[in-house]
Amino acid sequence: MASKMTFLFMLSFVILTLIKGEIVNQNNSSAFDFIRNLQGCCHKGSNVQGLHELKLYLDRFGYLSYEPAHYQPNANSTSQSFDDELESALKRYQSFYHLNTTGTLDGPTISRMVMPRCGHADIKAHQQMHSKSLHTVSHFQFTPDSPKWPVEKTNLSYAFGFNYSDAYVPPVVRAFNTWAAASGYFTFYRVNDIASADIKISFERGDHGDGGAFDGPYGILAHAFYPPDGRMHYDAAETWSVGPGPVPDTIDLQTVALHEIGHLLGLGHSEDENAIMWSSIPSGSLKGLNADDILGVKALYGLK
């Protein structure tokens, strides 16, 4: 009898473990997983369900000027057609991420596209890839008309929204301190009144009224606006980590804060995968500033 009870207990444990594992796998699915379904089933000239959503993705991140209101989203319409514009947009995307510019949805391109990322566009649609203000050994990005904080605004205040947990404050404070030390120019201080703060930090869900709707776990992680707007939003649907160290199946809050503060200061996305201003971060990983990020902010503000 005892051995039978032991066997039943062990069997129950195994079943529960498998169920738990299945739940974890489901929770780790990306909001961009629809792109995986397109691999190997579409080519130039084809009409495939899902290409409409792919065009919206490429439009959002700056690679395509797509006006879906002009299309009927069904399998027989141009919204689901693999046309010349889509091929060109894929090539621009592949060039930015140093992939082979095949203009097709190959494996490496799809693997890059489904990674959790910042909601900020990488480039402006149809922007010439070599017209950016680039240092000869760097890949930071900003244009000559990029907004930046005026010279009298180097000491910036920040505040957290009413729904912001105290547990998530220290990583953001550390991120501000890191940028202050690296720039040798900006300082940051916390205030209580979010309405009057230069930088306003909050957790948001879905469509929260700023034109950059969030999409659930492992899709768009956060976004921030160029100066002097100052808004910085995290997606509340993500599973966030405050460390210490990398935590599996979570997104590191401090790493994302470092990235979004770069946007708040006026930096765009970098083409250097080692830079904090690279657009994506895998779950369970950490990242800090590197030379490209520091060169970028110093170049933008004319610092030595």
Instruction: Find out whether 161 and 203 touch, Cβ atoms under 8 Å.
Output: yes
Burial class (CB in 10 A: 0-12, 13-18, 19+), 215: middle
Query: Nearest CA to 170 among 281, 248, 257?
Result: 257
Is 271 marked active-site?
Answer: no
CA distances to 12, 13, 16, 72, 149 from 6, rounded to whole Å, are 10, 11, 15, 60, 67
Q: For the chain, state the CA radius of gyration.
A: 22
Q: What is the rounded distance in angstroms from the CA atom of residue 62 to the CA atom of residue 27?
A: 28
Residue from 53, 260, 271, 273 carrying the catalytic annotation: 260
Q: What is the rounded distance in angstroms from the CA atom of residue 68 to the CA atom of residue 52?
A: 8
Please give the structure tokens belonging to residue 9.
């207990």
Query: Nearest CA to 125 among 85, 169, 72, 164?
Result: 85
Please give the structure tokens belonging to residue 100.
């082979």
- Placement of tokens 């129950």 in the chain: 12
Show which residues are catalytic. 260
